[in-house]
Amino acid sequence: MSDSLLWHRLQFAFTIVYHYLFPQLTMGLALLIVIMKAIALRTGDLIWNDAARFWIRIFGITFAVGVVTGLPMEFQFGTNWARFSSFTGGVIGQTLAMEGVFAFFLESSFLGVLVFGERRLSARGHFLAAVALFIGSWLSGYFIICTNAFMQHPVGHDTGPGGVLQLIDFWALVLNPWALAQYAHNMAASVVTASFVTMSAGAYYALQRLHVDTAPRFLRLGVIAGFVASVLVAFPTGDTQAKLVARHQPVSLAAMEGHFESGPAAGIVLIGQPNVRERRLDNPLVVPGFLSLLAYGTFHSDVAGLDQFPEDVWPDNIELLYYAFHVMAGLGTMMIALTLLAGAAELRGGLMRRRWLLWMLMLAFPFPYIATTAGWITAELGRQPWLVYGLFRTAQGASQTVHSGTVLFTLIGFAGLYLVLGLLYLYLVGRELVHGPSATSQTHAGSPAAVAAHDG
């Protein structure tokens, strides 16, 4: 791999991983905010409305960082991956443009309405703004996943004039089975992130004995949504995703599992280190048969090992791919266990009394971020050495007119800028957290209090 290709890849990887720390929270929070506002609207319980307003403030700060770190993503297709863009624009340009037109306009318009509009709108109108924001942010996720799914499993295209890709079947692209599975998996994970953050804030207040009305609500919502979503991440969405990888990218599956030799009744690895030079797994701890089950639904199916494939189609970083996959799967399992434990405690009425459990819930919020990042590293490294699977190699895609030192320069620039952004973000979210949800101070248009305030 040439130097410049490495820097191009690292810059994209760094900026996308960093960017996605923010949308994974806002997309999940958008759903939780809709739920909180719906409960407030149905029950008239204003504490839920205060809770929603608190999370809308966090949402606003997170969304801002998500927006500004998202800008470079779209531009880097052209700046750093110019040859890839020329080749695929006729297909993935569609889904990227659709993201802008269908999702970003909706999202950006109604975030303003949600943040600024509480006094101008009725309670129902404000709820609808939250729904519009939810739809916008989840649509945006869909179009970006559709773009990625085309790179993982190209459909609906053929080669047009000039040897570039063209779109033949619009609905095949938009309803790519890979996209559907990946979207469900990813969005469930995003709800896990938001739930763990909500839960963590609730546990923090409970441990501090602050905001005694809101803390149990944060905890209950976080635990229920977190449990449901983390189960959904594993089954059926993660399971479906694994079967798609087994069918369409068997060499990636072999690399993810460090499965060097083919054979029936392949086991799943709990612990072990891939040793690519020796073509084996060091100190493995294996549960027999489970990889066959995961990939093909029976304990004794054959699972192709890396030995079945020529080395030039092996993912180019098998070690990192293997670790990323195992970190994701391991943390996913732990998150199911933790939310199950918290849920059981809550059912027996004792979550608020078990301080050790509250401590765990408070400190657990990084897990979904790590698991999601590891999951995306798995997806993207598993796709290597291809940019578009089976069609176009990563090495063919980078911009030729940009020198490697220039890319390193912008990469370092991003590292510095994003460090500052991250510190500012943590500072501001920390302040909101310390300030906490405040009691209803704002009223809706048309309510007696608003009219009185206006007349006064």
Partner 1 sequence: MMAELWFAIASLMLVAYVVLDGFDFGAGALHLVVARTDAERRQLLSAIGPFWDGNEVWLLATGGVLFLAFPRVLASGLSGFYLAIFLVLWALILRGIAIEFRSHVENPLWRAAWDAVFSVASTILPILFGTALGNLVRGLPITEDGWFSLTLFTNFSPWGPVAILDWYTVSAGLFALLALTGHGAAFLVWKTDGPMRERSRTAAMRLYMLVATAWPLLTAATWWVNPRLFAAFQQRPLAMMSALVALAGLAALAAGLRRQRDGLAFLGSCAFLIGMLAATAACVFPTMLRSVVNEGWSLTAYNASAPAASLDRGIRWWAIGLPLAVIYFVIVFRLHRGRTSIGSGDGTY
CB atoms within 10 A of CB 108: 13
Helix (H, G, I), strand (E, B) or coil at 446: coil
Residue 404 binds partner 1 (CB under 8 A): no
Site string for partner 1, 227-266 (x = CB under 8 A): ----------------------------------------
End-to-end CA distance of the chain: 71
Residues 456 and 449: their CA atoms lie apart, in Å, by 10
Choose the stretch contacting partner 1; rule: CB under 8 A; options: 105-113, 185-193, 231-239, 328-336: 105-113
Residue 448 binds partner 1 (CB under 8 A): no
Choose the stretch contacting partner 1; rule: CB under 8 A; options: 91-99, 284-292, 359-367, 372-380: 91-99
Residue 113 binds partner 1 (CB under 8 A): yes
Whether 316 and 204 have beta carbons less than 8 Å apart is answered as no
Find the shortest distance in angstroms from Cβ 108 to partner 1. 4
- In residues, how long is the chain? 456
Q: Considering beta carbons, is residue 90 or 385 the nearer one to partner 1? A: 90
Q: Considering beta carbons, is residue 349 or 456 the nearer one to partner 1? A: 456
The amino acid that residue 393 corresponds to is R
Residue 21 binds partner 1 (CB under 8 A): no
Q: Which residue has the tokens 């690399």?
A: 255
Residue 82 binds partner 1 (CB under 8 A): yes
Residues 331 and 326: their CA atoms lie apart, in Å, by 8
Residues 298 and 265: their CA atoms lie apart, in Å, by 8
Whether 438 and 50 have beta carbons less than 8 Å apart is answered as yes
Find the shortest distance in angstroms from Cβ 169 to partner 1. 9
Residue 446 binds partner 1 (CB under 8 A): no
Residue 69 binds partner 1 (CB under 8 A): yes
Strands (E), 235-335: 263-264, 268-275, 280-287, 302-303
Footprint of partner 1 on residues 307-346 (CB under 8 A)? none
Residues 361 and 351: their CA atoms lie apart, in Å, by 10
Residue 118 binds partner 1 (CB under 8 A): yes
Eight-class DSSP state of 237:
I
Options 29, 96, 318, 387; binder of partner 1; rule CB under 8 A: 96
Residue 2 binds partner 1 (CB under 8 A): no
Options 1, 10, 46, 101; binder of partner 1; rule CB under 8 A: 101
Residue 454 binds partner 1 (CB under 8 A): no
Helix (H, G, I), strand (E, B) or coil at 310: coil
Residues 3 and 408: their CA atoms lie apart, in Å, by 10
CA angle 144–146–147, rounded 5-degree value: 65
Radius of gyration of the chain, Cα coordinates, nearest whole angstrom? 24
Whether 165 and 91 have beta carbons less than 8 Å apart is answered as yes
Q: Considering beta carbons, is residue 5 or 276 the nearer one to partner 1? A: 5
Options 52, 111, 149, 377; binder of partner 1; rule CB under 8 A: 111
Find the shortest distance in angstroms from Cβ 313 to partner 1. 26
Q: Considering beta carbons, is residue 112 or 297 the nearer one to partner 1? A: 112
Whether 278 and 219 have beta carbons less than 8 Å apart is answered as no
Options 44, 170, 282, 285; binder of partner 1; rule CB under 8 A: 170
Options 417, 434, 439, 452; binder of partner 1; rule CB under 8 A: 417
Options 262, 273, 275, 406; binder of partner 1; rule CB under 8 A: 406
Find the shortest distance in angstroms from Cβ 362 to partner 1. 24
Residue 401 binds partner 1 (CB under 8 A): yes
Query: Tokens at residue 294, please?
Result: 């995961």
Residue 428 binds partner 1 (CB under 8 A): yes
Options 168, 341, 360, 395; binder of partner 1; rule CB under 8 A: 168
Residue 79 binds partner 1 (CB under 8 A): yes
Residues 213 and 233: their CA atoms lie apart, in Å, by 31
Total interface residues for partner 1 by CB under 8 A: 72
Options 43, 122, 124, 160; binder of partner 1; rule CB under 8 A: 160
Choose the stretch contacting partner 1; rule: CB under 8 A; options: 43-51, 116-124, 213-221, 227-235: 116-124
Choose the stretch contacting partner 1; rule: CB under 8 A; options: 79-87, 242-250, 335-343, 345-353: 79-87
Helix (H, G, I), strand (E, B) or coil at 389: coil
Residue 67 binds partner 1 (CB under 8 A): yes
Q: Considering beta carbons, is residue 66 or 382 the nearer one to partner 1? A: 66
- Which candidate, 33, 181, 25, places its Cα nearest to that of 110? 33
Residue 89 binds partner 1 (CB under 8 A): yes
User: What is the 3-state composition of the chain as percent helix, strand, coil, each rounded to the nearest 5?
Assistant: 75, 5, 20
Residues 303 and 289: their CA atoms lie apart, in Å, by 10
β-partners of residue 303 are: 263
Query: Tokens at residue 309, please?
Result: 């494939």
